[in-house]
Chains A and B, each alone.
Chain A
Amino acid sequence: TVMAAPMTNDQSWFYALALGVSFLKCLLINAYHSTDFEVHRNWLALTHSLPVSQWYYEATSEWTLDYPPLFAWFEYGLSHIACFFDKEMLVVPNLNYASPATVLFQRLSVIVADVVFFYAVKECCKCLREDKGKDLLGKPSFILTVLLLWNFGLLIVDRILGDLAINKHFEGAFLFSVLLNLKHIYLYIAPAYGIYLLRCFCFTQSNADGSLQWRSFSVVRLVILGTIVLSTFAVSFGPFIALGQLPQVLSRLFPFKRGLCHAYWAPNIWALYNIADKAFSILGVKFRLLDINKLPKASMTGGLVQEFQHSVLPSVSPLATLVCTLLSILPALFKIWHRPNGARGFLRCLVICALGSFMFGWHVHEKAIMMAILPLSLLAVDSRKDAGIFLMLSVTSHYSLFPLLFTTQELPIKIFLMLLFTIFSLASLKTLFRKGGALLNPLEVTYLLGLIPLELICEFVYPLTVWQKTFPFLPLMLTSVYCALGVTYAFIRLYISLLTCSDTTKKTKMQ
């Protein structure tokens, strides 16, 4: 019998994967939400048609500009290209304008962002240590490519792509400041990046055991670092500071007027806090410990974002969340300052910072978990423990994204894609680390399996019951709380692994 040639022709598998995911996205084009589309169009329109002083005041559309200035400049540049496609899309009052040329332009820009992302992923894989002679499906780079390119979260949350692409090139503070000015969500990981650069860039030498050598502090480098960062901010925010609009810009970027939680609670600490508060209030009333009339009305979810008032537990203010976030990431920053572990240590710290900000942040969107998952993918293909944590976190957080796709038509898609990603990551990581026991302990497996009945109840059983009308938010709440447990658990485990890892002499090719 004739055997097929082995599927290891150099890098062709990468293109097969990239093409595959692109084709899938083409097919799903019709399914993508129009709101993202409209947001983008609106921003193109207002940066193009309005003077700079109006950018952060414009409010014709509900989708106001809430990204930092550099992103606004980027949209401005893009709008000049958009001119060639259809001038009408750049008229601000043209809400929901969607001519074929407009759609084409949007799709093309997404494709370009995709290409940049593909390139970045390719670069990532170069950093991985390769074992010769392994078959394709067992190669870490293949696994990582699939984990990144076919990431369920990325497939359904299109917008994050282009920005993350730039993040992958760890080439200095400049790019990061640029990034920060493009999307302030990166503020989450700014501390990690800042501390790491400070530690590794400004202190040119470490002692033999990796600890700090104070004498090697280089003032020159600090100045260079500072200049780069400050100048980027200056270019980005400069015009707005000159116009005295800084407070307005900041209020748009950090809308603290919005509630503690998004309309659908992100699975973080505050979801657990909310549920505890509700539980206490119900129990308190039941056991006559509290008077129902004296309790402040706890309004939580009710469609649009509202102000939050907790009934029993103290209400949480933006400042409190900031303090909690800083406290949560401080140990990690200290650890990386004390003993940076090369790129791997940095990545771990990055993940923790992102996760910590997600856990304790104010008005966090559940999409933000992707910031933690993607760097964790890099760690997962390198170490067994990280692979276990990755599985736990990725499956939980991907499930928590389910409520973002709520129509019946999208139901099979999200289930198929989720299963696809989960089965792949489970099977491939298991094969990669087959020596050394199971990746997940029984408790974790039970938790993850519990997602299946949860999905069945929330999506199939509950809508058919009587409570659907009176308590429509209950499935969402259940999902948030259940996932919050998993995310918290992963956070704790990650922290433990960071604080207890002391192996600085491990050979890695990642620099």
Chain B
Amino acid sequence: MENWSLFSLCVLLGLTSRWAVSFHSYSGAGKPPMFGDYEAQRHWQEVTYNLPVHEWYFNTTNNDLNYWGLDYPPLTAYHSLVCAYVAKLLNPEWVELHASRGYESHSHKLFMRATVLFTDILIYIPAVLLYCFYFCDGSSKQKVATALCILLYPGLILIDYGHFQYNSVSLGLALWGILGLGLGWDLFGSLAFTLALNYKQMELYHSLPFFCYLLGKCIKQGLIGRGFFQLAKISLTVLVTFALCWMPFLSDPKQPLQVLHRLFPFGRGLFEDKVANTWCSLNVLIKIKTLLIHLPTTLSPFPLSLYVSSPQNISQPVCLVINEIPLIAIWFLLTSTFSMLPLLVKDGLLLPYVVTSLAFLFLSLYLLSALERSTEEELRLGLYRKLTRHWLPKLNLSRIIKWKFWFSLVAMAALSFTSVWLEPPAKFPDLFPVLVSILSFLHFLGFIIYFNLVQLMEPQRKKSQKKTN
């Protein structure tokens, strides 16, 4: 079958599953007074449409920051503004100042879901397709299979089309950034990534690799001459993009400070945000202590919404390597979906969670032949082999990994089942969410170690591959 038809089938399957999930509930549905992230997004449309720019991030009589105040960078605000214009056309009640608080209706839900679908189609899906087309090895069928697996990643679908967020925008822009860098279009890549950063500050996690890569590239081209010139161009692009995004806030020095204060609420308790994103940080050991102290606070509503975006940030790079180390990547992606179980159950998204996770598991294992491609070489277990060679030379590492994989799946399934069907004991009402967090954390710890080791071994592996080829 021709390429275009395979890719379009893949996209259609992705779109169908997304819209099918959108039929289900959203966060805070029917739960006054605070509702949830869905209401937050609607509220931002209301605020940005009705209030002047200089009031968006400030606590005024018209803008109560305690009720879902804006805490994302300006690009999110502009996006909300555009959506608000459309909403006003369809039904002004949706964005009526003050009066529309807690507005819920079937047609409004359709509208909100449609906005997510629209940006997804515009930004995220083309980026995924292009990435698979240009940067995946193998036949075109394999590329399509990879694209399909990436598009069917349950975590993103459940959060964007279930819980309700716009992660696909920031992730898509970041992906365009990666595409730009990969194709050698540094300026375009920097532009895209800066936009991503201006959409959600969570992209800071990805900024370090971006920065290091570009800096390294410029240095290689010689710090005097071409390299310097390139660095200047990139810096200029980034600065200009920032300036354009922040332009309405640059008139008064108080403005950018307030915005930053909203984005990085140091006063409110940085720990909550950090704790949720602990497993992203390189300095794991120190953070374990922080985690143990602040574990209960991860379950409070506000930081939970920040916590929610984080799995996507880490899962995205793992999605991209799904074709290289399929088994580990699939394992990781399922774990990250599982880690959001308490949130999903709270939102009434149990059925989509089960269906999309199972579908992702079976289809990606099948399409990418993950279980067959699991020799030691393919699983990049070189360093593990080196470490165990002396004490346990006869160890079949690949079989151990597979056993661990199945065992961990069973554990996750069992915990999912019990946390839904059984009542927690009265003394520990939060038992199940805590268990989920702990289990996920242990998994992520293992994955961080694994990915770091693989990274260390990479140059050696490439050398030995060159030798054998």
Q: Judge whether B429 is part of the interface by a CB distance below 8 angstroms.
A: no
Contact (Cβ within 8 A) B15 A416: yes
Q: How long is the Cα–Cα vector from A2 to B1 in the complex, in angstroms?
A: 23
Q: How long is the Cα–Cα vector from A416 to B139 in the complex, in angstroms?
A: 26
Q: List 18 A-B contacts (CB under 8 A).
A: A3-B138, A4-B138, A4-B369, A4-B373, A5-B373, A7-B141, A16-B366, A20-B359, A26-B351, A27-B17, A27-B352, A29-B351, A31-B23, A417-B12, A420-B9, A420-B16, A423-B8, A423-B12
Known: A7-B367, A24-B16. 7 other contacts (CB 8 A): A7-B141, A16-B367, A19-B359, A20-B359, A24-B20, A27-B356, A427-B2
B142 — which chain A residues lie within 8 A by C-beta? 3-4
Q: Judge whether B431 is part of the interface by a CB distance below 8 angstroms.
A: no
Known: A7-B369, A24-B17, A409-B23. A423 touches B137 (CB 8 A): no
**Shortest beta-carbon distance from B368 to chain A in Å:** 6
**In chain B, residues 57-87, which have Cβ atoms closer than 8 Å to a Cβ of chain A?**
none
Q: Classify chain B's interface size.
A: 35 or more
B232 — which chain A residues lie within 8 A by C-beta? none
Known: A5-B372, A408-B110, A412-B19. A27 touches B355 (CB 8 A): yes
Residue of A nearest to B5 (CB): A427
Known: A20-B359, A427-B1. A416 touches B138 (CB 8 A): no
Residue of A nearest to B109 (CB): A409
Measured CB to CB, the residues of B under 8 A from A are: 1-2, 5-6, 8-9, 12-13, 15-17, 19-21, 23-24, 106-107, 110, 117, 137-139, 141-142, 145, 351-352, 355-356, 358-359, 362-363, 366-369, 372-373, 378
Known: A16-B362, A423-B12. A416 touches B373 (CB 8 A): no
A137 — which chain B residues lie within 8 A by C-beta? 1, 141
Across chains A and B, which 4 residue pairs bring their CB atoms closest together, nearest first? A427-B5, A27-B20, A23-B359, A5-B369
Q: How long is the Cα–Cα vector from A16 to B367 in the complex, in angstroms?
A: 9
**Shortest beta-carbon distance from B95 to chain A in Å:** 20
Residue in B15, B110, B363 whose CB lies within 8 Å of A409: B110
Contact (Cβ within 8 A) A138 B110: no
**In chain A, residues 406-431, which have Cβ atoms closer than 8 Å to a Cβ of chain B?**
408-409, 412-413, 416-417, 419-420, 423-424, 426-428, 431
Contact (Cβ within 8 A) B15 A4: no
B372 — which chain A residues lie within 8 A by C-beta? 4-5
Contact (Cβ within 8 A) B362 A19: yes
Contact (Cβ within 8 A) B15 A23: no
Q: Judge whether A30 is part of the interface by a CB distance below 8 angstroms.
A: yes
Contact (Cβ within 8 A) B9 A424: yes
A427 — which chain B residues lie within 8 A by C-beta? 1-2, 5-6, 9
Contact (Cβ within 8 A) A1 B137: yes
Q: How long is the Cα–Cα vector from A23 to B15 in the complex, in angstroms?
A: 14
Q: Judge whether A28 is part of the interface by a CB distance below 8 angstroms.
A: yes
Residue of B nearest to A23 (CB): B359
Q: How long is the Cα–Cα vector from A81 to B410 in the complex, in angstroms?
A: 32
Q: How long is the Cα–Cα vector from A427 to B4 in the complex, in angstroms?
A: 10
Q: Judge whether A12 is part of the interface by a CB distance below 8 angstroms.
A: yes
> Beta-carbon contacts of A420-457 to B below 8 Å, as 1s and 0s?
10011011100100000000000000000000000000
Contact (Cβ within 8 A) A423 B9: yes
**In chain A, residues 243-290, which have Cβ atoms closer than 8 Å to a Cβ of chain B?**
none
**Shortest beta-carbon distance from B86 to chain A in Å:** 15
Contact (Cβ within 8 A) A27 B1: no
Contact (Cβ within 8 A) A27 B21: yes
Number of A residues near B (Cβ < 8 Å) is 34
Measured CB to CB, the residues of A under 8 A from B are: 1-5, 7, 12, 16, 19-20, 23-24, 26-31, 137-138, 408-409, 412-413, 416-417, 419-420, 423-424, 426-428, 431
**Shortest beta-carbon distance from B294 to chain A in Å:** 36
A424 — which chain B residues lie within 8 A by C-beta? 5, 9
Contact (Cβ within 8 A) B358 A23: yes
B13 — which chain A residues lie within 8 A by C-beta? 420
**Shortest beta-carbon distance from A134 to chain B in Å:** 12
**Shortest beta-carbon distance from A5 to chain B in Å:** 4
A423 — which chain B residues lie within 8 A by C-beta? 5, 8-9, 12
A417 — which chain B residues lie within 8 A by C-beta? 12, 16
Majority-rule SS of A interface residues: helix
Q: How long is the Cα–Cα vector from A408 to B358 in the complex, in angstroms?
A: 28
Known: A12-B366, A19-B359, A29-B351. A2 touches B378 (CB 8 A): yes
Residue of A nearest to B2 (CB): A427
Q: How long is the Cα–Cα vector from A289 to B356 in the complex, in angstroms?
A: 64
A2 — which chain B residues lie within 8 A by C-beta? 137, 373, 378
Residue of B nearest to A408 (CB): B110
**Shortest beta-carbon distance from A511 to chain B in Å:** 30
Contact (Cβ within 8 A) B19 A20: no
Q: How long is the Cα–Cα vector from A409 to B5 in the complex, in angstroms?
A: 26
**Shortest beta-carbon distance from A27 to chain B in Å:** 4
Contact (Cβ within 8 A) B23 A416: no
Residue of A nearest to B359 (CB): A23
Q: How long is the Cα–Cα vector from A309 to B12 in the complex, in angstroms?
A: 44
Q: How long is the Cα–Cα vector from A28 to B359 in the complex, in angstroms?
A: 14
**Shortest beta-carbon distance from B198 to chain A in Å:** 29
**Shortest beta-carbon distance from A107 to chain B in Å:** 11
Residue in B2, B16, B139, B351 whose CB lies within 8 Å of A413: B16
Q: How long is the Cα–Cα vector from A29 to B19 in the complex, in angstroms?
A: 13
Contact (Cβ within 8 A) A1 B366: no
A26 — which chain B residues lie within 8 A by C-beta? 351, 355
B366 — which chain A residues lie within 8 A by C-beta? 7, 12, 16
Residue in B12, B20, B358 whose CB lies within 8 Å of A28: B20
B141 — which chain A residues lie within 8 A by C-beta? 7, 137
B362 — which chain A residues lie within 8 A by C-beta? 16, 19
B356 — which chain A residues lie within 8 A by C-beta? 23, 27
Residue in B12, B17, B24 whose CB lies within 8 Å of A419: B12
Q: How long is the Cα–Cα vector from A137 to B362 in the complex, in angstroms?
A: 19
Q: How long is the Cα–Cα vector from A349 to B107 in the complex, in angstroms?
A: 47
**Shortest beta-carbon distance from A142 to chain B in Å:** 11
Contact (Cβ within 8 A) A431 B1: yes
Known: A19-B359, A138-B1, A408-B110. A416 touches B19 (CB 8 A): yes
Q: How long is the Cα–Cα vector from A426 to B141 in the complex, in angstroms?
A: 18
Q: How long is the Cα–Cα vector from A31 to B24 in the complex, in angstroms?
A: 9
Q: How long is the Cα–Cα vector from A395 to B47 in the complex, in angstroms?
A: 46
**Shortest beta-carbon distance from B288 to chain A in Å:** 36
Contact (Cβ within 8 A) B16 A416: yes
**Shortest beta-carbon distance from A346 to chain B in Å:** 31
Q: How long is the Cα–Cα vector from A429 to B106 in the complex, in angstroms?
A: 40
**Shortest beta-carbon distance from A207 to chain B in Å:** 44
Contact (Cβ within 8 A) A4 B368: yes
**Shortest beta-carbon distance from B351 to chain A in Å:** 7
Contact (Cβ within 8 A) B23 A30: yes
A24 — which chain B residues lie within 8 A by C-beta? 16-17, 20
A138 — which chain B residues lie within 8 A by C-beta? 1
**Shortest beta-carbon distance from B215 to chain A in Å:** 29
**Shortest beta-carbon distance from A80 to chain B in Å:** 28
Contact (Cβ within 8 A) B369 A23: no
Contact (Cβ within 8 A) B5 A426: yes
**Shortest beta-carbon distance from A408 to chain B in Å:** 6
Q: How long is the Cα–Cα vector from A28 to B373 in the complex, in angstroms?
A: 33
**Shortest beta-carbon distance from A344 to chain B in Å:** 26
Of the candidates B24, B352, B369, the one having the most CB atoms from chain A within 10 angstroms of its own CB is B369
Contact (Cβ within 8 A) A412 B23: no
Q: How long is the Cα–Cα vector from A39 to B106 in the complex, in angstroms?
A: 26
**Shortest beta-carbon distance from B4 to chain A in Å:** 8
Q: How long is the Cα–Cα vector from A138 to B138 in the complex, in angstroms?
A: 19
Residue of A nearest to B354 (CB): A26
Contact (Cβ within 8 A) B363 A413: no
A413 — which chain B residues lie within 8 A by C-beta? 16, 19-20
Q: How long is the Cα–Cα vector from A23 to B20 in the complex, in angstroms?
A: 11
Q: How long is the Cα–Cα vector from A2 to B375 in the complex, in angstroms?
A: 11
Residue of B nearest to A424 (CB): B9
A428 — which chain B residues lie within 8 A by C-beta? 1
Residue of B nearest to A19 (CB): B362
A5 — which chain B residues lie within 8 A by C-beta? 369, 372-373
Q: How long is the Cα–Cα vector from A502 to B373 in the complex, in angstroms?
A: 52
